[in-house]
Amino acid sequence: MKTKLYFLFLIIIVVACKNATPLVEKPSGYQGQGKSPVVPTTSKPVQKQYKNTWSLNDSTVFFSNQFDGARLNGLVHDGNDHYTIWITAENTPINVSPWYAFKVWSTTKKEVIIKLTYQDIRSRYYPKISKDGILFKAIDSVNYTEINPGEGDFGIKAAPEAIEIKVTVTPEPTWISAQELYTSTHVKQWIDSLTTNSFTKTYSIGKTTENRDLHLLELNQNNSKKAILIISRQHPPEVTGFLAMKSFMETLAGESELAKTFRKKFTVFNVPLMNPDGVDNGHWRHNMGGIDLNRDWQNFNQPETRAVRDFLKRKEKEGHRFVFGADFHSTWDDIYYPLDSTITGPENNIVFNWIENISERLPQKQTNVKPSKDLEPTMVSRTYFYVAHHMPAIVFELGDNTPRPFLKQKGIVAAEELMQLLLKEYP
């Protein structure tokens, strides 16, 4: 029977979480999404999930969504230590990114089976498991069962309709999540860990609908007016993009001679968590305005995009020139979304040189490239960065199941290659 690529990716992530060397892969054939539709970005209602701890099976088994990043909308006990969980989105229509995260424990050690079902969508994310809510690993494949497997070789159609997982629960909670948990608290802790250096600082550039800070990390060693902008996590479940960005930023802030030289000539601005409300509320896609932020870079109806827009304008008035921008995301597989150089001209060639250099250093995983020829409407971050601020820019996508060691390696390589290119371009 022909093995589908979907299963291959599930195997890869299990291997990765055991710190295996990234596998050599052929291109997946994933050619990215089609043209992004123009959608209204005025706020619309969001259904906040009911926060609760459920006591089931005569109060011997407990489930909870009472933590940041959780998503569990309802469940039933089916008997014989079998439970069915219901996962719904914050509103609709919505991208196919059914996020889930919950805790489970019992009064005595036992084995339970949990079925995950979703609102009008199939199961996208392979379950991760943790005993402390911090360190996660992919669930063992022997404890994972697909229900009504999908058709085709890739994407949501190849995904199962539902999944069942077998878990040994104890009086100590077990976390089960679609991806690793990186809430606004975790991200702020990471930012703060980098600000021990004299050339780093962090500050808020705005507030979200729920009054969370939109934190910015600045690397500024020599007050250079040449600057780059890096953002991440416009969409809450896109953790792999954040992990690559995290490695990327740590490399820029590192102690290598290349990084030291780079920081003398360039200032780095980083918004690592663009959608803290969506992340902490366990959203599939949207912010608390019920909107996909990466469709709001023309009308700026949402506080998060307005904050970055106003920050860029303010910095340009202070004399900064932005020479590069990157927006880290996650999707079905690694893919780059640059602007087509036939539209932008040679000033955008640095983006394609960067892609080529990364690919040469990481030949074991060839990444697809899908340039866009659309400059209007700006709508998405990359296009706005280029049109409004003349900075070469790219959407940098990492696969949902890309091995975690490879994500870190790719972030390092991407940072090193970008530093070398910019130092050559702006000596």
Residue 185: pLDDT above 70? Answer: yes
The answer to whether residue 7 sits within a structural domain is no
Residue 207: pLDDT above 70? Answer: yes
The answer to whether residue 43 sits within a structural domain is no
On whether both 237 and 111 belong to a single domain, the answer is no
Residue 255: pLDDT above 50? Answer: yes
Final residue in a domain of this structure, among 121, 147, 177: 177
Residue 58: pLDDT above 60? Answer: yes
pLDDT in tens, 361-378: 999 988 899 999 999 999
On whether both 354 and 298 belong to a single domain, the answer is yes
On whether both 162 and 192 belong to a single domain, the answer is no
CATH of the domain at 313: 3.40.630.10
Of the pLDDT bands very low, low, confident and very high (cuts 50, 70, 90), residue 211 is very high
**CB–CB of 128/140 below 8 Å?**
no
On whether both 172 and 189 belong to a single domain, the answer is no
Range of the domain at 136: 52-177
> Percentage of the chain with pLDDT > 90?
85
The answer to whether residue 105 sits within a structural domain is yes
Of the pLDDT bands very low, low, confident and very high (cuts 50, 70, 90), residue 96 is very high
What is the CA 402 to chain-centroid distance, rounded? 12
On whether both 80 and 200 belong to a single domain, the answer is no
Q: Which residues, other chains included, contact 235 with Cβ-Cβ below 8 Å and sequence gap of 6+?
A: 95, 97, 275, 278, 285, 292, 293, 294, 329, 330
On whether both 173 and 305 belong to a single domain, the answer is no
**CB–CB of 67/133 below 8 Å?**
yes
The answer to whether residue 68 sits within a structural domain is yes
pLDDT score at 6: 39
Token digits for 165?
């997982």
Token digits for 422?
């910019």
Residue 282: pLDDT above 60? Answer: yes
Q: How many angstroms separate the CA atoms of 328 and 333, rounded? A: 13
Q: What is the mean pLDDT of the chain?
A: 92
Final residue in a domain of this structure, among 177, 209, 236: 177
Q: How many CA atoms within 13 Å lie on the side-chain side of 193?
A: 10
On whether both 195 and 71 belong to a single domain, the answer is no
On whether both 245 and 147 belong to a single domain, the answer is no
Final residue in a domain of this structure, among 161, 177, 193: 177
Integer angstrom CA distances of residue 39 from 97, 120, 211, 294: 18, 21, 25, 11
pLDDT in tens, 3-48: 343 334 333 333 344 333 333 333 445 667 777 888 999 999 999 9
State the total domains in the chain: 2
On whether both 153 and 223 belong to a single domain, the answer is no
What type of residue sits at position 352?
A: F
Of the pLDDT bands very low, low, confident and very high (cuts 50, 70, 90), residue 154 is confident
The answer to whether residue 6 sits within a structural domain is no
